[in-house]
Structure 1
Amino acid sequence: MKEQDSPDGAVDASRQQFSILVVDDEPGMLSFLQRALAQRHGRVDTAGSVEAAVPLLRRCLYDLIVLDISLPGRSGIDWLHELRNDGYAGEVVLITAYADLDTAINALRAGASDFLLKPFSVAQMLNAVERCFERSRLRRENFVLRREIEEKSTAVDGVVCQSGAMQGVCDRLARIAPTAATVLLTGESGTGKEVVARALHKMSRRAAGPFVPVNCAAIASELIESELFGHVRGAFTGAHAAREGLFYYAQGGTLFLDEISELPAAAQAKLLRVLEERRIRPLGSEQEIPVDVRVVAATNRDLKDEVAAQRFRQDLYYRLQVLELRLPPLRERPEDVEALARHFVATLAPMLGMPPLELTPRVLARLAAYDWPGNVRELRNLVERSLILGWFDLGPDESGNDAVAAPDERLEAVEKRHILATLAASAGNKSEAARRLGISRKTLDRKCTAWGCD
């Protein structure tokens, strides 16, 4: 089996974090597998029966279980059925010395990831474990991708560095990114802290790993520890199945803790310990799991004031403040307004399926005169709304004149855009377009003729 080694010759660190439980009633087999697997994977525990394995699984969320079918008491297949019903989502390789086609079929139906017949070679077992490792890795990556889609974060935004203030931010990013230090991002709401955190991740040596964003303010205080660190089955009321935390899914990458000031006191203490020891303990577990995660935290509050008010731990504040980066509000960098507006028009128009809008001198003057209390997020939302409407709805200026067009002209423009878009979606079939629009074919012909788009 070909190993993926790091540049210095060490086995891939992610494999060292892959935990395995071997369950077999033959002491020789347990010893053989423990020695073979421990050379490549950081944690390999063994048990001689299901009864001995159950408490181990309650204390540690194993990535893989190597399970003999013929065991004293409960069989491996019966226990596998129970594991899947209880919500265990890890990999399971079933092994047996006595197998026929029906046994193999039952094993796969029970939820086995692989099936090996004794006696097997070291290479066969290592290949099976490698396949499980890859499936586990892909499962983590898919989780992260789904979470990014659900978050609908400002992934289309870029770090625009036209102003001197943002040039300074970008210069510091370039210096900070290659290090492994924890970073604290501060600034008003909407200044683009998550955008900068993503840029920091992409510029770091962890760029190939996952970027996992967490909004600490959006998670109930009683669930935040389980969300971050995971839990074992029965850890609390309603914990019917074990669950891996976000630290686990961020292995080898970056965990972005937004609104860190909203973290409850108990979770603050646990986070401080994780940052110092680089190990997590899932709720209800007696075992600690090593983690290789860079933490980037963000807040729109002054953490020194939160510490003074005894709402935030002072030791955690100093641990997070290894490298602090302040993002200036948009009103302090007016040179970036035009560049950001053009960036949003260029990136959002294709996403929305809308033609880009022209940033006329009149519009740009109005944008520059505004103080943007909602910062970059407010500007992005304005551009998105304007692309949908078909004009920059900036309201009247000091003279009472609108920035772009009179209301009646706007309504006609919206109607035209909607009809032409429907025609395009109907592949130019006017009858189909009229049906979708709820108007007569004659009305549609008349409007197309008036617009010169027959």
Structure 2
Amino acid sequence: MLNSVIVVDDEAPIREAVEQWLTLSGFSVQVYSRAQDCLENLPEHFPGVVLSDVRMPDMNGLALLSHLQSLDADLPVILLTGHGDVPMAVDAMRDGAYDFLEKPFTPQTLLSSLRRALEKRSLVLENRRLHERADARTRLDATLIGQSAGMQTLRRQVLDLATLPVNVVIRGETGSGKELVARCLHDFGPRAGKPFVALNCAAIPEQLFEAELFGHETGAFTGAQGKRIGKLEYADGGTLFLDEIESMPLAQQVKLLRVIQDRRLERLGSNQSITVDLRIIAATKPDLLEEARAGRFREDLAYRLNVAELRLPPLRERREDVPSLFSHFAQVAAQRLGRSTPVLDGAQLSHLLSHDWPGNVRELANAAERHVLGLDAPHAIEAQAGQSLAAQQEAFEAHCLRSALARHKGDIKAVLNELQLPRRTLNEKMQRHGLLRETFVD
């Protein structure tokens, strides 16, 4: 149950008395003498109720109500009125005020009104949270593509971790999409409006690594022309993505650990300590703890980074996602290149499904682009062992259903006619493959 209350009243005795009553009753109370102060300090999605006097200088309670409604139409506002203000307060309730209390009022009357308002506020915020999560899930489905069990698990984990203030390690093979997952953790969390800064640790020469990470002042070393903001400082408020973290020099690992612990850094050539607030997402192919046991990575840093770990399944472990991914990449490439999207035949699809994709999603995207350009058809990919006939049949069936739904923009009747299936059979197959009609509606 929510328990936050903002009290706005220009009379100090009333503010103090109401604050005391509410605090003793278990509420979290903020008090302001001016309506403007309330507006300037009101947090977004404030989890509580505003209690305001009507008659105040500069901005009265009715004007405050209007401003608050423009910020959040569902925020409960309770007005405190004198006897002569009752008709005005009744009009205010028609305009959206939750309740009004005529002075003098008893503590019990105030508490009763507040608890009802807070209960309503709790339901509104929970409903918003559910809608936002459903919207985020839809957007994430369109970003991290695939209906395999591994991808469904990954999307759930990303949504859960995106909102948590913890560092994350993403493990996956080369080309499996680690940076895309890191970007989703940033974009679907509270830091979305702040910088997302990516640094590939394997691409920076060791002698330049510290300057790249921490920045430098003018003349800090030979060639240091002017002041430069480092990646850590530039990511302040947002997310720093460290790709191939296992390649970070041991000397810099010590300094990164200190930044994580103290949330402060110093640029090269400076004695000034700078506070930073950032989330670190690291990507690695090997297990960092195994690297630490082998003496190639600091164990204390590994634990600091690996508060949570996400594992990206390689493409060969989720072959049923290959058709939808290939189709997506082909459509993107066709749009960018001004070409039409070629339709795959059965033989081409079979070769796509039987290939092991050692380069993972990156290799698949390249194959899709070459297919659009007519440079390298999918059947040119050498078929490899590793997938059962039943699995290939399942993937082919999913591709056929998906293609038909896309062609007919979700028109179930047209799909039934084309595939010559009973309605019940189509429903069962769509459910088994995780296909929703709404996804294909134009």
User: How far 1:8 sits from its partner (Å)?
Assistant: 3.4
Residues 374 and 391 of structure 1: CA distance in aligned 2, closer, same or farther (over 3 Å): closer
- 1:377-416 per-residue CA deviation (whole Å, 9 max, x = no partner) reads 1101111122223662532767xxxxxxxxxxxxxxxxxx
In structure 2, what is the Cα distance between the partners aligned to 1:180 and 1:230?
A: 25
Indicate yes or no: 2:240 matched with 1:205.
no
- 1:422-445 per-residue CA deviation (whole Å, 9 max, x = no partner) reads xxxxxxxxxxxxxxxxxxxxxxxx
User: How far 1:243 sits from its partner (Å)?
Assistant: 0.7
Residues 286 and 347 of structure 1: CA distance in aligned 2, closer, same or farther (over 3 Å): same
Residues 396 and 304 of structure 1: CA distance in aligned 2, closer, same or farther (over 3 Å): closer
Q: In 1, are the aligned partners of 2:351 and 2:378 still within 8 Å (CA)?
A: no
In structure 2, what is the Cα distance between the partners aligned to 1:184 and 1:393?
A: 34
Residues 177 and 362 of structure 1: CA distance in aligned 2, closer, same or farther (over 3 Å): same
- 1:333-356 per-residue CA deviation (whole Å, 9 max, x = no partner) reads 111111111111122211122221
Aligned with 2:361: secondary structure? helix
Partner of 1:171: 156
In structure 2, what is the Cα distance between the partners aligned to 1:187 and 1:6?
A: 43
Q: 1:315 aligns with which of 297, 300, 304?
A: 300
User: How far 1:168 sits from its partner (Å)?
Assistant: 0.5
Q: 2:143 aligns with which of 149, 154, 158?
A: 158
Partner of 1:359: 344
Partner of 1:287: 272
Indicate yes or no: 2:348 matched with 1:380.
no
Q: In 1, are the aligned partners of 2:348 and 2:378 still within 8 Å (CA)?
A: no
In structure 2, what is the Cα distance between the partners aligned to 1:241 and 1:394?
A: 55
- TM-score (structure 2 length as normaliser): 0.54
Q: In 1, are the aligned partners of 2:351 and 2:381 still within 8 Å (CA)?
A: no
In structure 2, what is the Cα distance between the partners aligned to 1:258 and 1:236?
A: 26
| Identity percentage of aligned residues | 48
Indicate yes or no: 2:379 matched with 1:344.
no
343-352 or 185-194, larger mean C-alpha shift:
343-352
Residues 7 and 338 of structure 1: CA distance in aligned 2, closer, same or farther (over 3 Å): farther
Partner AA of 2:154 in structure 1: V
**What does residue range 6-405 of structure 1 map to in structure 2 within 5 Å?**
7-8=42-43, 158-389=143-374, 392-395=377-380
Q: In 2, are the aligned partners of 1:357 and 1:391 still within 8 Å (CA)?
A: no
User: How far 1:248 sits from its partner (Å)?
Assistant: 2.2
Which segments of 5 or more consecutive residues in structure 1 lack a partner in the other structure? 10-156, 399-454
User: How far 1:299 sits from its partner (Å)?
Assistant: 0.6
Aligned with 1:172: secondary structure? helix
- 1:119-156 per-residue CA deviation (whole Å, 9 max, x = no partner) reads xxxxxxxxxxxxxxxxxxxxxxxxxxxxxxxxxxxxxx
In structure 2, what is the Cα distance between the partners aligned to 1:237 and 1:384?
A: 45
- 1:219-242 per-residue CA deviation (whole Å, 9 max, x = no partner) reads 111111111110111211111211
User: How far 1:7 sits from its partner (Å)?
Assistant: 4.7
In structure 2, what is the Cα distance between the partners aligned to 1:279 and 1:235?
A: 19
Q: In 1, are the aligned partners of 2:367 and 2:376 still within 8 Å (CA)?
A: no
RMSD of the TM alignment (CA)? 2.1
Partner AA of 1:8 in structure 2: P
Q: In 2, are the aligned partners of 1:258 and 1:299 still within 8 Å (CA)?
A: yes
Residues 393 and 331 of structure 1: CA distance in aligned 2, closer, same or farther (over 3 Å): closer
Which segments of 5 or more consecutive residues in structure 2 lack a partner in the other structure? 1-35, 45-141, 384-442
Q: With CA pairs under 8 Å and 6+ residues apart, which has the higher RCO, 1 or 2?
A: 1
In structure 2, what is the Cα distance between the partners aligned to 1:287 and 1:396?
A: 57
- 1:361-383 per-residue CA deviation (whole Å, 9 max, x = no partner) reads 22111100111111111101111
In structure 1, what is the Cα distance between the partners aligned to 2:350 and 2:40?
A: 56
In structure 1, what is the Cα distance between the partners aligned to 2:154 and 2:40?
A: 35
Q: In 2, are the aligned partners of 1:357 and 1:390 still within 8 Å (CA)?
A: no
- 1:62-95 per-residue CA deviation (whole Å, 9 max, x = no partner) reads xxxxxxxxxxxxxxxxxxxxxxxxxxxxxxxxxx
User: How far 1:318 sits from its partner (Å)?
Assistant: 0.4
In structure 1, what is the Cα distance between the partners aligned to 2:41 and 2:347?
A: 56
Residues 300 and 397 of structure 1: CA distance in aligned 2, closer, same or farther (over 3 Å): closer
User: How far 1:5 sits from its partner (Å)?
Assistant: 5.8
User: How far 1:302 sits from its partner (Å)?
Assistant: 2.0
User: How far 1:184 sits from its partner (Å)?
Assistant: 0.4
Aligned with 1:239: secondary structure? coil
Residues 7 and 356 of structure 1: CA distance in aligned 2, closer, same or farther (over 3 Å): farther
Aligned length: 250
Partner AA of 1:395 in structure 2: A
Residues 356 and 377 of structure 1: CA distance in aligned 2, closer, same or farther (over 3 Å): same
In structure 1, what is the Cα distance between the partners aligned to 2:381 and 2:308?
A: 44
Aligned with 1:296: secondary structure? strand
Aligned with 1:179: secondary structure? coil
Residues 284 and 392 of structure 1: CA distance in aligned 2, closer, same or farther (over 3 Å): same
Aligned with 1:223: secondary structure? helix
In structure 2, what is the Cα distance between the partners aligned to 1:265 and 1:163?
A: 38
Partner AA of 2:264 in structure 1: R
In structure 1, what is the Cα distance between the partners aligned to 2:224 and 2:326?
A: 47
Partner AA of 2:345 in structure 1: T
In structure 1, what is the Cα distance between the partners aligned to 2:40 and 2:362?
A: 42
Aligned with 2:170: secondary structure? strand
Partner of 2:85: none
Q: In 1, are the aligned partners of 2:355 and 2:382 still within 8 Å (CA)?
A: no
312-321 or 231-240, larger mean C-alpha shift:
231-240
